[in-house]
Structure 1
């Protein structure tokens, strides 16, 4: 069986896709998997592929007999820049540079999209190179691949993590064999043809994201260098980081450290701009001698988050799912201006279910103390933290990776039956 997986543009698309690939290779070890992604995430995915099996990239020269399991390839794609709630005049109001960044960014996005269409068509037009099925994990990287797959009658399945379908999935859903969702969606909003394809699967996460015992949590704190007797607050903006979260932390950090240990995932994009906070991170003989530690990012996120007594995070669907699997109390800080407002809708839905606390990004930027006060209240309320963690954990679907794997195989088998 040949399976093509497409994801990238965001780290939130990679983790679920790799979890599904892991399930595929466990159940069908001779499956040939290709993972197509954009240049930005190529090396990340290649490293993950090498950890899982025999991963090899298009830049490597290996004999055919060693080309097993996961091949990682770059594909051209174009991102169309849209911001929720902003009209054309708003871009001018924010300055000429912002306006031209958006205009020229979209021109570049259109060129990348057309190059992606051409590249995908040339790769897939040769029948012996065609996959039996394509798994598209949302995001702009999958749009040219999905369109070409539709033209060439290659079956594909979609997965949408957020409460709102992204532009790519909205365009591709008509020809999809199956549309899996990370959260329940209102199927009555869609035509009967689309609605019958939709299934709430959950978001696949790596198996290391699971609840930890109190003793294991204390061990994780000590391994990270923290005092196991103090509550630990972990603040994360994801792999790339959040400028706004970082800025707010720099304002409230000194007061926050009076009450708790703090771990900050500053992100690869913003870490260098936050180095002044390293003054709070003190080491003595290779041991942490303070209650603060900052990372750009870490491959051991399950351990860092597992050590936390409280997590402050952006409201990306994959991160939320990982925190739900870990059974952690969470304060979500959604960024309201993302396309479709999907982070805000993710957070609002969970807040109404009393599964998380929420502070809007715009409110936090106006007054960072709002976030500080919310953290303090939860640190002082053990019962509420436990209730939030339990409610969030109830929404986790631990079998999501397995079910997504089954959907991929079913799509391939369905197409084969139709062709016979």
Structure 2
């Protein structure tokens, strides 16, 4: 059996594909896995680190840029974005022919499309070549790529409750978000092991800050002010901050002694360790990040990116807030850090509240999504062969 695993754009697409690949190998040793990502992906190293991927393919793909709540007249005046969208439209057409080439070379039996712009040319090519495929949406708001190719999908696997999606009920299945085997509930012993691995003191408190696999510039800038105040007020506090590549000078204005307790990294290969070592996590509200933290039972403050298309991070965060599972910070309040400092300071001083958040988010976790999707893929192949 040959399975195409399609996705790209962020680590939130690639990591779930690797988790599904691992489960496919467990369920069938003769399964051949082909990872299809966009040309120029920043996650080659992540994909190459997996022993569960047999073949890697790349196709061109274009991104349709649009921003949540942007007024219509701003869209008309945004010549730069319009030009980029026109260019990427032709990249998508070119990608469609790349995708046909992938199908010709690999002869797949079934495809699993995680989302991202690479899903459009690959999904259209699969539909034309009669390769059955399953789509997966992690966020409460389905991505544009999956909405475009969804009409030909055999199954719509979803990561949030089904009420958020407009897919046909008969084709929709809730599975959660597929995660790697490194994610599990973190107990006190695990936390100490992670801290030792990161060369952090076992005593004191740790905050992990992550803006997702590519970082988040506005979150970085806002948290620089907040962290500067917190490390002064909490002498035993250590900060782990995954910044992305565009924040080389972050915290450079701080006193060198305070700076010793702040560690910044561009990219984290072992994010499970990075967040597992923390007493508290501050993160964007992407569905994969949320799912990872939920499985770990980590108390978290979400800072949703309000500009992303469809406001999906806002919807994700509000859904969890209604369950009492997270605290939310409005990104705009970081310009004047008083609210953020007070919220974080309160949680650092209140272990009971952190435990409440930990238990609440843990109840929403799903650690068998990858296995469920692998089973769906095998069943789809069996239906095709019957």
Scaled by the length of structure 1, the TM-score of the pair is: 0.86
CA distance in 2, matches of 1:325, 1:302: 10
**Secondary structure of 2:40's aligned partner:** helix
8 Å CA contact 1:178–1:411 kept in 2: the answer is no
Q: Which residue is equivalent to 2:339? A: 370
**Secondary structure of 1:371's aligned partner:** helix
8 Å CA contact 2:18–2:50 kept in 1: the answer is no
CA distance in 2, matches of 1:337, 1:304: 26
CA distance in 2, matches of 1:79, 1:106: 7
| Contiguous gaps of at least 5 residues in structure 1 | 55-68, 283-288
CA shift in 2, pair 1:408/1:273, >3 Å: farther
Q: Which residue is equivalent to 1:246? A: 220
Q: Which residue is equivalent to 2:299? A: 329
Q: Which residue is equivalent to 2:100? A: 121
Q: Which residue is equivalent to 1:52? A: 50
8 Å CA contact 1:49–1:70 kept in 2: the answer is no
Q: Does 1:400 align with 2:382?
A: no
Q: Which residue is equivalent to 2:114? A: 137
8 Å CA contact 1:132–1:154 kept in 2: the answer is yes
Q: Does 1:216 align with 2:187?
A: no
Q: Does 1:409 align with 2:358?
A: no
CA shift in 2, pair 1:196/1:280, >3 Å: farther
**Could you report, residue by residue, the CA deviation over 1:58-116 in whole angstroms, capped at 9, with x for unpaired residues?**
xxxxxxxxxxx521111011100010110232357xxx7xx233111101210111111
CA shift in 2, pair 1:279/1:154, >3 Å: farther
Match of 2:74 among 90, 93, 108: 90
8 Å CA contact 2:39–2:61 kept in 1: the answer is no
CA distance in 1, matches of 2:253, 2:318: 31
CA distance in 1, matches of 2:186, 2:257: 26
Match of 2:289 among 310, 319, 339: 319
**Secondary structure of 1:271's aligned partner:** coil
CA distance in 2, matches of 1:11, 1:388: 25
CA shift in 2, pair 1:279/1:178, >3 Å: farther
Alignment of 1:226-375 (within 5 A): 226-257=200-231, 258-259=233-234, 260-268=237-245, 270-274=246-250, 276=252, 280=256, 290-365=260-335, 367-375=336-344
CA distance in 1, matches of 2:323, 2:175: 19
Q: Which residue is equivalent to 2:33? A: 33
| Contiguous gaps of at least 5 residues in structure 2 | none
CA distance in 2, matches of 1:16, 1:118: 26
Task: Quote the offset at 1:310 in angstroms.
Answer: 0.2
Match of 2:58 among 50, 74, 95: 74
Task: Quote the offset at 1:266 in angstroms.
Answer: 0.9
**Secondary structure of 1:274's aligned partner:** coil
CA distance in 2, matches of 1:261, 1:122: 50
Alignment RMSD: 2.1
Match of 2:83 among 88, 100, 104: 104
8 Å CA contact 2:207–2:282 kept in 1: the answer is yes
Q: Which residue is equivalent to 2:2? A: 2
CA distance in 1, matches of 2:315, 2:275: 23
How many pairs are equivalent?
Answer: 383
CA distance in 1, matches of 2:377, 2:118: 19
CA distance in 2, matches of 1:27, 1:48: 23
CA distance in 2, matches of 1:130, 1:281: 59
Task: Quote the offset at 1:214 in angstroms.
Answer: 1.3
Task: Quote the offset at 1:49 in angstroms.
Answer: 4.4
**Secondary structure of 1:311's aligned partner:** strand
Q: Could you tell which deviates more after superposition, 234-243 or 329-338?
A: 234-243
CA distance in 2, matches of 1:90, 1:281: 46
Q: Which residue is equivalent to 1:171? A: 148
**Secondary structure of 1:220's aligned partner:** helix
CA distance in 2, matches of 1:129, 1:291: 50
8 Å CA contact 1:201–1:400 kept in 2: the answer is yes
CA shift in 2, pair 1:222/1:119, >3 Å: closer
8 Å CA contact 2:14–2:47 kept in 1: the answer is no
**Secondary structure of 2:176's aligned partner:** coil
